[in-house]
Structure 1
Amino acid sequence: MKIFKAFALAFNMLSIFPFFKVHNFFKGINGYSVMFYPLIGFLLGSLLWGAHTLLTPYIPPSHLAVFIFSLWVLITGALHLDGFSDTVDGLFVSKEKALEVMKDSHVGGMGMTFTVIFLAFKLSSVIYLSFYQLMYLLPIILMFSRLNATLAIYFYEYISSGVGKLLKEELGKKHLLFAVLYSLALASVFHGVELFILSVLVLIISARFFTLRLKGLNGDIYGFIIEVTELVLLNYLIIVHFS
């Protein structure tokens, strides 16, 4: 029952699908919940890949890629994009005001501008991923980006109050090890293990930057890291297959 509640909580946090009714961070399930983040990413990526495969005979390639990208944003509830835009807003104020600005529910001008640019670049990346017939790697891309969130929660200081602190307190070594092992196992099936190294590199660079600036990470920065990881992995695949 604990495992099911943990999975349901992770699924509800990272997607918009109302399949489960677990929304509370019950004591004892939060570490297990974070352990399932990469699996949720894999399942969401599989949904996108499946939709692309199903619709390929009926929709022109570029238009289908735009549809898959839109679905990608929708099924995650734009949760990580919100964190991305808030984090960007925090970069354009002083260190002392950054956390206050990031907590503001309103998106600032810089956050909006960079988010639009980011979305345009990510959309173009999805179009070319489809062009090179690499959409089957979407499950791995979404999995490793969310594994980065799990790693970030475990290894780096959390600097805000709220549920993030509770997640960090309950996330143990056994949860982390299991998440890494099943992620690598799934990646090996799709021949995408090399993406793990690149995704961790994105995490290390991002976390280093924000740790130096803010002394740690928070929920918005987790979302930022997820989004940036996805974009980097997408473009790595495109560059490798273009060259």
Structure 2
Amino acid sequence: MKAFLLMLSFFSRIPVGHRVAYSDDLYRQSIVYFPYVGLIVGGISAVPLWLLQNTSHGVRGILVILVYLLVSGGIHLDGLADSMDGLFSGREKERILEIMKDSRIGSFGVIGLILYFLVFYQCASEVMPILILLMPFVGKSAAAFTAGYSDYARVSPGMGTVLINSHTPKTSIEILVINLIIAFIALGFEGLAMVAMTFILAFFLMKWIHGKIGGMTGDTIGFVVEVCQMCFLLIATILY
């Protein structure tokens, strides 16, 4: 329970951090719960869809986004913007890593965030509540899946080091199987297709990032989380 609460305090704004003292060992133990934080974030984010079924789709979409940002703290959006700036800069590895560490946002980061919120708004206005519930779980699971096939790209350790080093191809397959089972129970064969396509996308994203910087970082993990969340919703919107 302490390990789960620690992970929840890291990747959400739910006030549970005071209930557990941080330690490196406990953080390593908590990594296994990284995807499951998404179920809590997704469940709370889906509340506007459940409660306001007679409200206009546009208003419900806006409320879903606002609740998601409040609960998650938008923690992976920084990684999305930083990765967009670095990976699309056309520079060599060391310069890309420098750009990703820069606290300032560039044009590609702005473009990435605009596209992200356009997709999020459109899909959140249309999909069933269960898909919003599953969205952060599938996105975080897909990123954890890629960690099992990745190396850490930077010389000095960072926030993504433990997550990447804690996963192996075996744990990645376990994560995929768990997602497929949950998706099938919740959504049937369409759910299997959504998860399978999202994980395939995550794998190819990871390979593309490896080609750019030779591995993954905390920023690129966040990038994969957010891109896969939106792709999951896009696929769901098409299938439903």
TM-score for both structures, normalised by structure 2: 0.86
Q: CA RMSD in A?
A: 2.2
Task: Report deviation, 1:72.
Answer: 1.4
- Counterpart AA for 1:125: C
Q: Which blocks of at least 5 consecutive residues in structure 1 are unaligned?
A: none
8 A Cα contact 1:147 1:179, kept in partner: yes
Structure 2 residue corresponding to 1:145, chosen from 139, 147, 163: 139
SS at structure 2 position matched to 1:155: coil
1:1-243 aligned within 5 A: 4-21=1-18, 22=20, 24-27=22-25, 29-30=27-28, 32-57=29-54, 59-90=55-86, 91-95=88-92, 96-129=94-127, 134-160=128-154, 161-171=157-167, 176=172, 179-191=175-187, 192-241=191-240
Measure the CA separation in 1 of the matches of 2:166 and 2:119. Answer: 36
Counting aligned pairs with the same residue, the percent is: 22
Give the conservation status (yes or no) of the 8 Å contact 1:148–1:203.
yes
With 213-222 and 70-79 compared, the bigger mean Cα shift is at: 70-79
Spell out, residue by residue over 1:96-127, the C-alpha distance to the aligned partner (whole angstroms, 9 max, x if none).
31101101111123212331232122211211
Question: Are the equivalent residues in 1 in contact too, given 2:131–2:236 (CA < 8 A)?
Answer: no
User: What are structure 2's unaligned runs of at least 5 residues?
Assistant: none
- Structure 1 window deviating more from structure 2 (5-14 vs 113-122): it is 113-122
Q: Which amino acid aligns with 2:34?
A: Y
| Matched residue SS, 2:9 | helix
Q: Give the whole-Å Cα distance in 2 for the aligned partners of 1:123 and 1:146.
A: 20
Change over 3 Å in CA distance of 1:8–1:180 after alignment to 2: farther
Do the aligned partners of 1:14 and 1:79 also contact (CA within 8 Å) in 2?
Answer: yes
State the secondary structure of the residue aligned to 1:105.
coil
Q: Distance in 1 between matches of 2:215 and 2:153?
A: 5
2:193 counterpart letter in structure 1: E
Distance 1:211 1:51, change over 3 A: same
The letter of the residue matching 2:203 is I
**Which whole-Å deviations, capped at 9, do the CAs of 1:24-83 have from their partners, x for residues lacking one?**
3422551x42221221111211112233212334x4332122111221122211111111
Contact 1:156 1:216 in 2 (8 A): yes
How many equivalent residue pairs?
232
TM-score for both structures, normalised by structure 1: 0.85
